[in-house]
């Protein structure tokens, strides 16, 4: 039929040709949106390969479906909050914890599909009972669960999904505000079906990002005031309702007895507490003292010195508090000092390399942390995605092509390791090497201070937000001073820290970069050229490199695990070679201290402990 139309087009008059051209455009459009039709609705979708659990699975392996319901879990956090809306810029970083929360769970809002924490990146049925996408993932269609409803009883509809994307594009914060950039259109294809037709900017991962995005209630939101901070308890679809808000002090959630999804396989063994509270404290010391007194139940710990010495008090000794540890299968998060390369002093890669060499990890680890930490050397340290100790493969070399000169030879050959000192805090060999690098960049020493080619001293400020970061910054400042670099350390409150980091008003900060086995489009927000000037993005380093942009694009469109691994390792090599971050350290396990009546499943997920699956033993 198409061949007949083309033949007719060649022989027809001008008016007929115009008409048939329109028909061909329509036909080709149908082929694009519907032609990859070798697909069928499924219960789950995986980034690469197939989901680990079949359609008839009963629960996630890391959840206990027989846990009792009841009791209370109280969390303790440092800081404050002034909003219950986690999706707008004004409350970014100051939203009450638990609303939409990676650590405590999404207690109030939910997404179309639910992420398994036992697989790199797989999404299972949630608000949508089925997902359908073709092999090329040029579109994705969700069928809403007919039982899904908001906490006020109103059914969740396709209108809610479409409304959410329109609202967040206009009023939301990154990354929610930019997701429409990859969507050609959203259309209702059935009573409970919504299809996202994707454009050429989309990639293989994006259907999963859509599935992971929040859905908001159209009937309960005023679009005109959505971007205003509010403390009003919201309407959501999640397992909990906000029952009490005490601004800046605590927020209380109560389990919804009419929660629509409590019997879904994705939710069996989850949401076991009747009440969840989040208590806020001014600093880490006051939080710990409150924990010792029994004012809250569970405290994640990341300080080895404190874990070793701080928990010698009666409640631990008599077993009322348990010190729990968890092994995970995920890469270590990269904690480090981040250079803001928007600062002219940090534009030069070799300057950054020399400054990074001056971090004396061995001294810090020995004197501050009982040698409990390991040095982090990769953005995916400890996983198969890391380039550390792995020579670049032929496929990596082919991928990087003309950008090869951006990668250091030792990084390409798998020989790179972060600088190692003698642990004395004054390793002259390291200092001489760093100083020589700076000399080659035009720096000279005068009266014990380093001055650049422009005649200005090499001086900068490290912005910190708590005592732990301040302690690290002071240690770093001490070694930098030995070669004439002037460093000031400024610790500010959460509100000021948020304002300054959102506007990139800093020279250097301490930042933890979350690592996963399924890095994707979020890497654009961290390292992509398009986000360098975007207010509130996570590109704190100010990275703008076409090689990094290219490799991220290759990573997100990879269709096989092999191609994906190749791209991630190459991104790792580019970031290491760029010296955008001075890497610090990581632990090999997770630590949580908790009351003995707070119970957990025996199995730990691939990504570690999950508070959403814990329960109150007193509820038996």
**Which pLDDT score is estimated for 372?**
84
Determine the average pLDDT of the residues in 157-161: 98
pLDDT in tens, 458-481: 999 999 999 889 999 999 999 999
With a pLDDT cut of 70, the percent of the chain lying above it is 94
pLDDT of residue 293 exceeding 90, the answer is yes
d(CA 575, CA 344): 19
Q: Give me the pLDDT at residue 168, please.
A: 97
- Chain length of the chain: 620
CB-based contact 46:122 (threshold 8 Å): yes
Cβ atoms 215, 186 nearer than 8 A: no
User: Is residue 560, in this structure, part of any structural domain at all?
Assistant: no
Residue 109 scores a pLDDT above 50: yes
Is the predicted pLDDT of residue 246 greater than 70, yes or no? yes
Tens digits of residue pLDDT in 208-240:
999 999 999 999 999 999 999 999 999 999 999
| Cα–Cα distance, 198 to 33 (Å, whole number) | 9
In this predicted structure, the answer to whether residue 170 has a pLDDT above a threshold of 70 is: yes
Per-residue pLDDT tens over the stretch 510-526: 999 889 898 988 999 99
User: What gap in Å lies between CA 266 and CA 289, rounded to an integer?
Assistant: 37
- The secondary structure of residue 519, as a DSSP letter, is -
pLDDT at 139: 98
| pLDDT at position 38 | 56
Number of domains in the chain: 2
Average confidence score pLDDT of the chain: 92
pLDDT of residue 135: 92
| Alpha-carbon distances, residue 266 vs 150, 240, 606 (angstroms) | 18, 16, 16
What is the pLDDT averaged over residues 60-86? 96
pLDDT at 565 over 80: yes
Q: Which residue has the tokens 């010495």?
A: 309
Average pLDDT over residues 60-83: 96
CA distance 237 to 285: 36
Helix intervals (H) in 370-427: 394-400, 409-412
| Predicted pLDDT at 423 | 93
Q: Is residue 559 part of a domain?
A: no
- pLDDT band of residue 253 (cuts 50, 70, 90) is very high
> Region 564-570: what's the mean pLDDT?
96
Q: Which residue has the higher pLDDT, 97 or 23?
A: 97
The answer as to whether 448 is a domain residue is yes
**Does residue 505 register a pLDDT over 90?**
yes
Q: HSE on the CB side for 595, CA within 13 Å?
A: 21
Looking only at the bridges linking them, the beta strands covering 615-616 and 449-451 are unpaired
d(CA 235, CA 516) in angstroms, rounded, equals 31
Give the pLDDT score at 34.
Answer: 43
pLDDT greater than 80 at residue 57: yes
Label residue 39 by pLDDT band (50, 70, 90). Answer: confident
Structure tokens at 516: 């996963």
Given this model, what pLDDT does residue 26 score? 34
- Return the higher-pLDDT residue of 149 and 522: 149
pLDDT of residue 187: 97
Q: Are 5 and 21 in contact (CB under 8 A)?
A: no
In angstroms, what CA-CA distances link 540 with 272, 431, 529, 581?
38, 27, 12, 10
Q: What is the mean pLDDT of residues 609-620?
A: 95
Please check whether residue 408 lies inside any domain of the structure. yes
Q: Which of the four pLDDT bands, split at 50, 70 and 90, describes residue 491?
A: very high
In this prediction, residue 18 has a pLDDT band, given cuts at 50, 70 and 90, of very low
Strands (E), 302-419: 321-326, 334-339, 374-375
Angle at which helix 361-369 crosses helix 467-481, to 10 degrees, equals 140
To the nearest 10°, report the CA torsion of 602, 258, 72, 88.
90
Q: What is the pLDDT of residues 305-328, one digit of tens each?
A: 889 889 999 999 999 999 999 998
Q: With respect to residue 177, please indicate whether it lies within any of the assigned structural domains.
A: no
Please check the confidence at residue 6 and state whether its pLDDT lies above 80.
no
In the sheet with 183-190, reading across from the earlier edge strand, the strands are 128-132, 139-144, 193-198, 183-190
How high is the pLDDT of residue 32?
A: 40
Q: Mean pLDDT, to the nearest integer, of 285-300?
A: 97
Assess whether the previous peptide bond of 175 is cis (omega < 30° from 0): yes
Does the pLDDT value for residue 25 go beyond 80? no
pTM of the model: 0.76
Average pLDDT over residues 102-117: 97
> 9 is in which domain, residue-wise?
2-34
Interval 327-336: pLDDT, tens:
988 899 999 9
pLDDT at 302: 85
pLDDT of residue 447: 92
Residue 510 lies in a domain: yes
HEC secondary structure over 54-78: CCCCCCCCCCCCCCCCCCEEEEEEE
Whichever domain contains 415, its CATH number is 3.10.105.10
Provide the percentage of residues in the chain whose pLDDT is more than 90.
84
More confident: 39 or 135: 135
Q: Give the whole-angstrom CA distance, residue 273 versus residue 277.
A: 10
Residue 14 lies in a domain: yes
Note whether residue 355 is domain-resident.
yes
**What's the average model confidence in pLDDT over 341-350?**
96
């Amino acid at each position: 039929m198409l061949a007949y139309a083309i033949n007719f087009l060649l022989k027809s008059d001008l008016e007929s040709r115009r008409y048939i051209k329109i028909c061909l455009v329509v036909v080709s459009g149908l082929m694009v949106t519907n032609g990859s039709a070798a697909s069928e609705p499924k219960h789950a979708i995986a980034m690469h390969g197939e989901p680990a659990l079949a359609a008839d699975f009963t629960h996630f392996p890391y959840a206990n479906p027989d846990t009792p319901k009841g009791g209370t879990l109280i969390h303790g956090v440092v800081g404050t909050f002034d909003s219950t809306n986690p999706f707008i810029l004004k409350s970014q970083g100051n939203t009450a914890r638990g609303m939409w929360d990676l650590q405590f769970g999404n207690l109030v809002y939910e997404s179309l599909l639910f992420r398994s924490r036992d697989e790199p990146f797989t999404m299972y049925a949630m608000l949508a009972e089925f997902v359908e996408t073709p092999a090329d993932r040029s579109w994705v269609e969700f069928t809403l669960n007919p039982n899904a409803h908001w906490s006020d009883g109103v059914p969740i509809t396709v209108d809610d999904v479409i409304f959410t994307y329109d609202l967040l594009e206009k009023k939301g914060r990154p990354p929610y505000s930019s997701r429409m950039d990859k969507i050609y259109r959203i259309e209702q294809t059935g009573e409970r079906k919504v299809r996202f037709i994707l454009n050429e900017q989309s990639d293989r991962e994006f259907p999963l990002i859509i599935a992971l995005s929040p859905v908001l209630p159209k009937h309960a939101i005023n679009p005109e005031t959505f971007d205003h901070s509010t403390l009003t308890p919201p309407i959501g679809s999640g397992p909990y309702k906000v029952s009490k808000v005490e601004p800046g002090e605590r927020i209380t959630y109560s389990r919804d007895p009419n929660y629509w999804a409590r019997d879904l396989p994705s939710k069996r063994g989850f949401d076991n507490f009747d009440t969840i509270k989040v208590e806020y404290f001014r600093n880490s010391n006051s939080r710990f003292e409150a924990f010792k007194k029994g004012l809250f139940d569970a405290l994640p710990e990341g300080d080895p010195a404190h874990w070793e010495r701080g928990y010698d008090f009666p409640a631990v000794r008599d077993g009322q508090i348990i010190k729990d540890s968890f092994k995970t299968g995920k890469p270590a998060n990269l904690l480090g000092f981040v250079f803001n390369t928007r600062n002219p002093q940090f534009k030069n890669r070799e300057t950054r390399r020399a400054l990074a060499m001056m971090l004396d990890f061995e001294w810090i680890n020995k004197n501050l942390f009982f040698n409990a930490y390991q040095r982090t050397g990769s953005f995916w340290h400890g996983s198969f995605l890391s380039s550390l100790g792995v020579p670049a493969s032929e496929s990596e070399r082919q991928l990087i092509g003309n950008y090869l000169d951006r990668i250091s030879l030792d990084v390409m050959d798998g020989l790179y390791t972060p600088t190692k000192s003698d642990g004395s805090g004054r390793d002259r060999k390291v200092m001489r090497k760093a100083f020589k690098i700076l000399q080659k960049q035009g720096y000279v020493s005068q009266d014990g201070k380093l001055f650049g080619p422009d005649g200005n001293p090499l001086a900068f400020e490290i912005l910190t937000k708590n005592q732990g970061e301040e302690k690290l910054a002071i240690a770093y400042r001490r070694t930098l001073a030995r070669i004439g670099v002037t460093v000031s350390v400024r610790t500010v409150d959460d509100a000021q820290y948020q304002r300054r980091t959102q506007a990139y008003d800093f020279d250097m900060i301490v930042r933890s970069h979350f690592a996963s086995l399924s890095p994707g489009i979020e890497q654009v927000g961290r390292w992509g050229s398009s986000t360098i000037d975007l207010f509130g993005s996570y590109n704190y380093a100010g990275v703008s490199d076409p090689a990094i942009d290219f490799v991220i694009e290759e990573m997100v469109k990879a269709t096989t695990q092999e191609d994906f691994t190749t791209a991630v390792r190459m991104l790792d090599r580019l970031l290491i070679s760029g010296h955008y971050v001075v890497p610090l350290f990581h632990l090999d396990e997770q630590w949580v201290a908790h009351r003995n009546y707070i119970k957990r499943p025996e199995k730990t997920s691939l990504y570690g402990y999950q508070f959403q699956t814990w329960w109150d033993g007193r509820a038996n």
